[in-house]
Amino acid sequence: MARKTPLTVVALMVSGSLLLSGCTVTADVSDWWSETFGDASGPPEVKEEFPYVREGRIFQDTGQDTEMRFAVTGLERTDEYTVMYYEITYPGEFSGPNRNLSMAHTLVDPLTGRVYRQFLDEEGLKYGSESPNQDGLYPVHDGVTNEYVRYFPRLPDEVAQVTFVGSGLGAMTGIPVQDVEEERPAPDDPNGADHLTPDDPPPSGENLTFANRRPDEEAVADEGWVQSFVDSEIASTTRDGDREIISLHSDVMFEFDRSDLTAEAEDVVRRAATTLADNVDPDEPVITVIGHTDGVGEEAYNDNLSVKRAETVRDLLAEELGTDYTLEVEGRGEDEPIAREGGPDDDAARARNRRVEFSYVFDTTTEATEEEEYDDDGLGAAQRSATWPAPYSDDPGSVVAEGELEGVRLEVYPLRRDGAYVIGTVSLTNTTDEPTIPGLGGQEAVQAGAPEQFSKGTLGGFQLLEPESGLVRYVARMDFGEGRQSSFADEVHMLQPGNTYNLVAVFPAPPVDVEALTLRAGPFGEFEEIPVEY
């Protein structure tokens, strides 16, 4: 019934391990937890304190960006599904057909990086609370609460709490999962279809309810992984599901048009071998060495050059790793660029595309470490970190940095750890008298030579920099397979005059001893010493 992409099949095979973090929550994290909170016995107690409520302004397709109250009233795991119960109330004036412009409702396990979306039918309509006119729209009345039910794939038994995104009001962390024998009964007498026009509200104090449609044989639900990217001048690491790719930038490795390693490159490859020995899954000890070129030159020549470079690196790896690993070679020439060539940053883009990669299944039992042994040469990009899931909070904290761009004020809040990620929260305020969209999105937001897929979306161009190590953490993405991806960040739409909007962007987490990072906020500039909190 669920849409089973190849990534999903892997997910079912390895449920329960800390896939994105690549580790269990280790003694290092427990020591950090003990120093911070005085208790190293385990994760914080999961308390069920429904409802979990957020209030704020959301983007609507009509520009009626009104205040909304969103309350999760239950998240229950049955034998078949995960059932989410929530309520929405618009306290102020609101009229006509409107659509919330937030990302799709998504449940995220912040430890494994697995993501789950709602069950939909062939027409894209949601199961659960039915739209009275079968068009995806629901009646809304000022000050009246609408009750909704939605179905998600069944979460693995070991998942005790999740992060919810898609309300339009940021990431709601620490939502507990309740195990039940059967789901709640559907409304006995749903009244939503009886109050379709603004002049026919329900009686005072009465909520709107809707007929319930349980998933049937046509129901499909996206399941996937959070995909992350960490970069340095020497190397970068991409994680997607249980697969990890370490990319060594070829400008450090080879002279122009040559396939023999420089002296510096030999040292980098030997250090990379240590990283691989630590990270590769011993049950699948296969490392694929992949060569890539930029788009300059003949395709056949580039194909051959990419193979020769990969073979050179493979031979040195074999010396370092011995016979415990199977080393395979692929040359992909100019076929898989990660940065767009031909633009104003062509040199940087071509440099990014010239690379040698190590692709492998990583060992999910590898312990995270606070040591910085790889940071000097950029291989700290392969270091993984995870803490416990963040407890729920509706308070982003105090503003720690501010900036302004063409009448739009940016306020930055502390970064918040959530499992294998950190959640960045910012607010944007339109201080002018006219609707406006700040120049944050589109191709112009892509950093010079940056991987395009991690720079798309309005906040996709934001980055976190570790000043001491030089590592750069990009906004994460959600990968549902078959080329279906979305940024793990809110999009910015038209800002209405005088309105303030809270938005989030999610990044792979730094080591647990990192207490502050620099936020690169696109055209707003850089903001140093943004605290990392739990």
Among 363, 392, 419, where does a domain finish? Answer: 363
Judge if 272 and 310 occupy the same domain. yes
Q: Is 29 domain-assigned? A: no
Q: Is 358 domain-assigned? A: yes
Please report, for the domain that includes residue 483, its CATH number: 2.60.40
Q: Is 373 domain-assigned? A: no
Among 311, 346, 363, where does a domain finish? Answer: 363
Can you tell me which residue has the tokens 């992350």?
228
How many degrees, rounded to 5, is the angle at CA 337 between CA 315 and CA 325? 25
Judge if 106 and 179 occupy the same domain. yes
DSSP 8-state assignment for residue 208: B
Give the number of other Cβ atoms within 10 Å of residue 517's Cβ: 25
Domain hosting 61: range is 52-218
pLDDT of residue 20: 27
Judge if 136 and 269 occupy the same domain. no
pLDDT of residue 79: 96
181's tokens = 């024998």
Q: Is 459 domain-assigned? A: yes
The one-letter amino acid code at 198 reads: P
151's tokens = 């179905």
Judge if 409 and 347 occupy the same domain. no
pLDDT of residue 7: 26
Please report, for the domain that includes residue 326, its CATH number: 3.30.1330.60
pLDDT of residue 40: 47
Q: CA-CA distance, 363 to 282, in Å (whole number)?
A: 7
Q: Residue 381 — φ and ψ, nearest 5°?
A: -60, -25
Q: How many domains does the chain have?
A: 3
Q: Is 383 domain-assigned? A: no
Q: Is 18 domain-assigned? A: no
DSSP 8-state assignment for residue 393: -
Judge if 307 and 184 occupy the same domain. no
Q: Which residues pair with residue 280 across a beta bridge? A: 362
Distances, alpha carbon 421 to alpha carbons 196, 384, 417, in Å: 42, 10, 6
393-412: burial string, b at 16+ Cβ within 10 Å, e else: eeebeeebbebebeebbbbb
Judge if 184 and 130 occupy the same domain. yes
3-state secondary structure of 96: coil
Judge if 405 and 464 occupy the same domain. yes
Report long-range pairs for 302-307 (Cβ below 8 Å, ≥24 apart). Answer: 302/333, 302/334, 303/331, 303/332, 303/333, 304/331, 305/257, 305/259, 305/331, 305/333, 306/331, 306/332, 306/333, 307/331
Can you tell me which residue has the tokens 């309509």?
125
Which residue, among 176, 158, 169, 161, has the nearest Cα to 49 in the 3D structure? 176
Q: Is 481 domain-assigned? A: yes
Q: CA-CA distance, 294 to 397, in Å (whole number)?
A: 45
Q: CA-CA distance, 118 to 106, in Å (whole number)?
A: 7
Q: Is 454 domain-assigned? A: yes
Judge if 337 and 443 occupy the same domain. no
pLDDT tens column, 19-29: 222 333 444 45
pLDDT of residue 42: 62
Judge if 174 and 259 occupy the same domain. no
pLDDT of residue 17: 24
Judge if 303 and 353 occupy the same domain. yes
pLDDT tens column, 259-310: 888 888 888 898 889 889 888 989 999 999 999 888 888 999 999 999 999 9
Judge if 205 and 58 occupy the same domain. yes
Helix (H) or strand (E) holding 520: strand 516-520
Which residue, among 488, 464, 491, has the nearest Cα to 476 in the 3D structure? 488
Judge if 427 and 525 occupy the same domain. yes
Among 186, 218, 250, where does a domain finish? Answer: 218
Which residues of the chain, if any, have pLDDT below 50?
Answer: 1-28, 32, 36-38, 40, 367-376, 442-446, 448-449
